[in-house]
Structure 1
């Protein structure tokens, strides 16, 4: 990662160029499981081939959709090594490294770098809520120990702590931070986040909630980290391309499919339904099994049929299946 330089004419700090391009759709990959603490290698191969062939810009493993906090350290490492091997340089691989323990975060980032991953992703430490001063010092302290470009991940719904804009402004001085993924769903916050690109012109800002992709792009976002792209990557890629081209008719058509697909997230009564629905959909289209990590249970037959019906309506699943 290059260091920032100073423009001799203006005296202004010029940020380094980002080492990877994340403009487009970056699926937050599910972790296919064959059993408790057992990776489904064949399912992972099919899943990675599926999303890469669908045109995604990169893949993000061990995030929220990947159930990272529920996985053993051994399995996380296996997921990293296998994913990098299978991808084989076709697209960048981003690895979630967040842990409640500082040292485990560093250890995982070092392992990801050894395996050949392209970037690390770090959210706010969870369980014990950090104040913004503590959070700033934490990132400033840990970043030099992470031997990869780093994307910050704002996920206040689960970590209970925001990367506040002023905090990010301070952290923008760290050259190895290449951007932010925001899953808050707050478009006012997202707009202010995109304005930080005036300070760090190399930053890439991605939206999490997939239905907000058009609004996020209009505010200056660079793409989406959208869970639905596990299932139908080409649909999300088509949406992104239509947005870039300014083709409103194409955007409306593909967005209708995305919004219909989102009905699967309303199936079931627990907060885990988003992950269970995504894995159920992947199982139905023959990519990988639908087993989630403990403490979650997979959908029962009635819920699975509801997912199947949505997939049939949007043409992802054949009518006879």
Structure 2
């Protein structure tokens, strides 16, 4: 007991132990003050943690709003690159056919001379006629293949873009926003709940129109979301911008296809006229 008394009265003991109160009421009052202090510290820590979490969530929102541009831009680039590669392959095949036809034309032209017999001339004329017809068919066929390639690529692009858009919108449906967190942790500031309406309101987003080759335009299914946030709006804005850019490239390729087709067919027709004039010049003296 003496040892305990000495320790209790020492400076070390005073710093680490509470003195026994003179009465129960004083002890209760002291404990209430201590508990109140603990509660204030806990609330202060809670508010600080909530504010920090709200700031982190706000930063996450800003980062997530950059996600649609990156993903949709990558989607656009991949489909555009695939389309350009396929169209280039088709044109390369046509260029090879045109080159082979040009070689054949030069050979036929080399056989055309004044001393050629009538029978040989008839065979040469028939051979050139077949060459011109084959080249004409190859040009039209290549244009048709390119147009079908564009059509399929456009449908694949729109269909896959609609699927990716839906996945992103569902992601933003599940993502809690900083405003939603504030509304849940500070209900007294939103007693009329007006601040919750922009986030809890359901929304149906329109589908994407396909690129038409005829007068009929199809549209992908609309997408319903459970919330309306800035993230949802960014997804649709980036989606529409992606469709616009790809559509411009799509229409440009169609115009280029038609222009190339008409140019090649014009060259074939120009040569046909020249060839007929050559034959007329050669056979004129025989009449």
TM-score interval w.r.t. the shorter chain?
A: under 0.3
More contact order relative to length (CA 8 Å, sep ≥ 6)? 2
Q: Which has the higher helix share?
A: 2
Q: Which has the higher strand share?
A: 1
Q: Rg bigger for which structure?
A: 2
